[in-house]
Structure 1
Amino acid sequence: MLRAIALSLLLPLLAACGADNVYAPMQEVQSRAYRAEGGPTLTLLTAINNRTGSGGHSALMVSGSQRVIFDPAGTWWHPTAPERGDVIYGITPTMLDFYIDYHARPTYRVVSQEISVSPEIAERALQLVEAHGPAAKATCGQSVSGILRELGFGKVRRSWYPDRIMKDFETVQGVVRHEIRDDTVDEYSPGKPALRAVTDDGLVYAN
């Protein structure tokens, strides 16, 4: 009973996690594959409520032989970034900018935590997110933290809460953290003061 009550209180907090299952044709997925310059990385992306500090959504960007975003139960969509089982392909610099801009708004900021990994870990991460399949609504935290633990990040506890996962990942040696804020209220929110550019190597921030 207590678990049911806890889950009933948690679900409204994770309202950003709630998309339908999508399976783009494999041919489209393969044709849109994009490989970023630079070494392989993993990037935990967390949407944080600016008023309460609670986490609204977790996603994991994997950059190896190609760059994808594992967006469990996410709601972002773009016609040139095909999605298959909660994995979004074709994450070019422009698509990454669109994704971040969608989540960074006056009420939410995006926390980016990037870590360099070996090519083997990056490929393992890609395999795991592709094998995961569509996540149930409001389970983004469980899905992302589970993947991170399978990759050997033992400091990250399995959790429903994106902000707790973010704090755990912060303790991993080598993680580089940035915050992206956007106080504009227009549809595309172009004026992100903390984000200077999006390049093939990832995010470039203002000093």
Structure 2
Amino acid sequence: MFRILIACLLAATVAGCAVSKRPQADQAEIVSRSYRDPGPSTLTLYTMINTRSGSGAHTSLMINGSERVIFDPAGSFQADIVPSRDDVLYGITPAVERAYRSSHARETHYARIQTIQVTPQQAEIALQLAKQTGPVAGSFCANSTARLLQQVPGFEQIDVTFFPINLSEQFAELPGVVTEEYRENDDADLQKGLAANNAALNQLDAASSQ
């Protein structure tokens, strides 16, 4: 167990899986930004992977139920137009989703994105579990996501793990999972990516409000 914790702490150091310091949005802001994708109910597992070592650096889960959110435990993503409460990001429009993956994908890391279609009931259970989890401690991103998933009917076989790659491999074994990789070759500094995508989202939001 000690080795597992050390490995996760090292992963957190390079990829931003640390204790969340996001502002807590009020309910009015969350409701005003709420978004529901018109497609089927889905769960999408993001695994941020080091391009050099192949080790997992961060885990998060996008849930498309009655609304679309990202459960980003101990994550680093913040944007002015994206309300957050604890480790749940709200208002995940297509533009926000692109900004999320783009912020994490850079010279040193890429995103493995695995999507599975679920029933509306499964998605709603996952959504409520994400909202109830509360803030997640640093380096517990894969652990908390695995614990959430195994409480969703049909995902009970997911074993709790501290390793993002292990969780990704388990998720890949589920019937119907579609996997893609997203890569960019921009600056290795995560904060620069976050700042650039925040500015782009602000610009898009301002244009849509005119």
TM bucket, shorter chain: 0.7 to 0.9
Q: Choose between structure 1 and 2: higher helix proportion.
A: 2
Q: Which amino acid aligns with 2:96?
A: M
1:43-122 mapped onto 2 (5 Å cutoff) = 43-122=44-123
2:159 alignment partner in structure 1: 157
- CA separation in 1, counterparts of 2:55 and 2:158? 17
2:172 alignment partner in structure 1: 170
Q: Which amino acid aligns with 2:170?
A: D
- CA separation in 1, counterparts of 2:4 and 2:187? 33
Q: Which amino acid aligns with 1:183?
A: N
1:13-28 mapped onto 2 (5 Å cutoff) = 13-15=11-13, 16-18=16-18, 19-20=20-21, 22-28=23-29
Contact 2:22 2:84 in 1 (8 A): no
Q: Note the residue ranges of structure 1 that are not aligned, 5 or more in a row.
A: 190-207
Count of residue pairs brought into register by the alignment = 187
- CA separation in 1, counterparts of 2:29 and 2:173? 38
- CA separation in 2, counterparts of 1:41 and 1:6? 30
Secondary structure at the aligned position of 1:20 is classed as: coil
Normalised by the length of structure 1, the TM-score is: 0.85
Shift of 1:55: 0.5
- CA separation in 1, counterparts of 2:126 and 2:42? 10
2:205 alignment partner in structure 1: none
Shift of 1:73: 0.3
Shift of 1:184: 2.8
**Which stretch has the larger CA shift, 100-109 or 146-155?**
146-155
Normalised by the length of structure 2, the TM-score is: 0.84
**Which stretch has the larger CA shift, 91-100 or 14-23?**
14-23
Q: Identity across aligned pairs (percent)?
A: 39
Inter-CA distance 32–53: structure 2 relative to 1 (3 Å threshold)? same
Q: Deviations for 1:81-110, whole angstroms, at most 9, x for unmatched residues?
A: 100010000101111111000001111110
Shift of 1:37: 1.3
Q: Choose between structure 1 and 2: higher strand proportion.
A: 1
Contact 2:43 2:62 in 1 (8 A): yes
Shift of 1:35: 0.8
Q: Note the residue ranges of structure 2 that are not aligned, 5 or more in a row.
A: 195-210
Inter-CA distance 178–5: structure 2 relative to 1 (3 Å threshold)? closer
Shift of 1:6: 4.2
Shift of 1:79: 0.7
